[in-house]
Structure 1
Amino acid sequence: MSEGHVPDAADAFALSQLMFPTTALCISVAARHGLADVLADGSMSVRHLAERTGTDEIQLGKVLRLLAEEGVFRETGPDVFANSRLSQLLRKGFPRSQYSMAHLVGEPWLWNSWSQLPRGLTTGKPGFELAHGMTLWAYLGTAPAAGAVFNDAMRDFSEALSDQVAQSFPEFADSGVVADLGGGTGTYLRAILETYPGLARGILADLPAVIEQARTSDELAPLLASGRLTLHGADFFEAVPSGVDTYVVKQVMHSWSDQAVIQLLRRCKETSPNARFVAAEFIRDTKAPRFVKNFDLVMTITMNGNIRTEAQYADVFEAAGYELTRVLPTDTAFSLVEARPRP
């Protein structure tokens, strides 16, 4: 379309269809009310589903019709709905479930942050801080229920993709000792260790309170008992595990400024001078999928984080004494950014 084109009615309609903040909130509503769990028994009328879930029949029908349009649920007859491949992921405990993530995207404290995006554009501050007067991390530390929702959502998202990401770097098999920095309760590191049984040992590093949660995890219990997994509780800006062959991070670098990331990298190089660094991160480029562009805005409104380009990653690594050696696709939104220390 040329710049001189005069928009017609079709253009106006196409733009108007983009102006509804509905899909994300409807997905969250569906998860909160367990619609997919109820429909696991088979298709059901809106009336029956409303009775089963204690919801309003008229409003529920509107939610389901919109979600069916997006491929989340199927309308198998007039006002009769069934699960789809996508809605199955809203079931609790279902393989690769995104129930907790769906719960998170509808949290009022997160929606309040989005409302501050116009002010953020003029002030350069994250919407969360403008809405709540504190950082996201400070808020989660003072609101245990919100913190639990956030942590569960991060775990769900990581569990859904970690095995695919781990399989994309077969060199993990020969890594000897792998340390996952900021690894939470160990989902990604567990995927690496289980994918490569010949890998000698993994070290899970995070803040002491998070490590204590990992210590009681049923999923990690066999690895802890065998000695293939050890725990390291500390602020990774202050101390990282030693005797490491490969440091890994997943969804960490985009949360921090260049200066903070350089500080972390230098700490790693000082502690294990020959260890490579492999970051599972999103890459911003012209081929980035819609998800990455959306996530970049999520980072802006929550903590002013940024998704970097490959060139920006290279600059950060160079400033810390590393050389970016390659960027590997993973068949997910993640790429694996590998860097090795310069002599």
Structure 2
Amino acid sequence: MEGLLFNVNNGYVEGIVRGYRNGLLTGANYSNLTQCETIDDLKLQLGPAYGDFLSSLPPNPSTATLAAKTTDKLVSEFRYVRANAVGTLATFMDYVTYGYMIDNIALLITGTLHERDTRELLERCHPLGWFEAMPVLCVATNIEELYNSVLIETPLAPYFKGSLSHQDLDELNIEIIRNTLYKNYLEDFYQFVNTHPEMAGTPTSEVMSELLEFEADRRAINITLNSFGTELSKADRKRLYPNFGKLYPEGTLMLSRADDFEGVRLAVDGVTDYKNFFDAAGLGGGLSGPGNMGGGAASESRSLEDMFYQKEMQISKQAFTRQFTFGIVYAWVRLREQEIRNITWIAECIAQNQKDRIGNYISVF
């Protein structure tokens, strides 16, 4: 019965998303991409998957332009799915966009502090985090005005209330703001998928709980590692951790007390995957890599960040083995984002003539 009802409302969307997932690049596709000598060769190889979106690119485009065009495909597909989603699935998809909104608002706040050109800022915002009132935010001439319009004009208002004031919005605190909003958002999303009558106790809550718990843990670990050597107090750090996840509460309590990498390693000891990541990272894997274009570890050692991306891809891929779940929409977005990071990484290696590091992408299929 559950499946029948799901199909009546959401069967079409599920079919579309599964089709999109089948169109993701495979290991063989990546192998071909890494053989390319120029960005134009790369563009040609990406033709079958990204054709229309790359056709307007100039010869040998910059990697940033290539990344933007591949992102356009994700945005176009997401908007098509959202236009066909109804009821709870439509609300669920709105939740997926809130993370991008948080990043966009953080960008606008930083820009306002630095008196940057608002048009340039709007161009740098992620299209999936676009909302009606964004241009209104750009009219704000100071932080207090910006804060008041965020509270009134955006879906993120509940994540500000009670936890952030306009006095918080300064240079030092921008990462604290971003992480506070993210904590509130993830907790709200987690509650939504686990308590809404259409999702509680269904494959959607099971799939999404795993994905969101992983995200909560990853953020708690990254916040801790990034706080070392900064002015962020342990008490403030603890307030930024989401109150759920595999590490919560014992692991996050230990994280809040950690003073160094070793302290973080001990805190995550109870979760086998994370323990293995840290054991591997302690043996020479760095803290950042091609997962987000930051540095990149040597080929023989995966960075901690890469291992997290790899795990996220594994969970996202598994989501597609389940039936009747909204979770595949979230999982597909994550898989496609990794594909975009991979393409950008490979393009960057070609552009910088660093072919020895070109294999450091994270293949999924």
TM-score between the two structures when normalised by the length of structure 2: 0.27
Give the structure with the higher percent strand.
1
The structure with the largest alpha-carbon Rg is 1
TM-score between the two structures when normalised by the length of structure 1: 0.28
Give the structure with the higher percent helix.
2
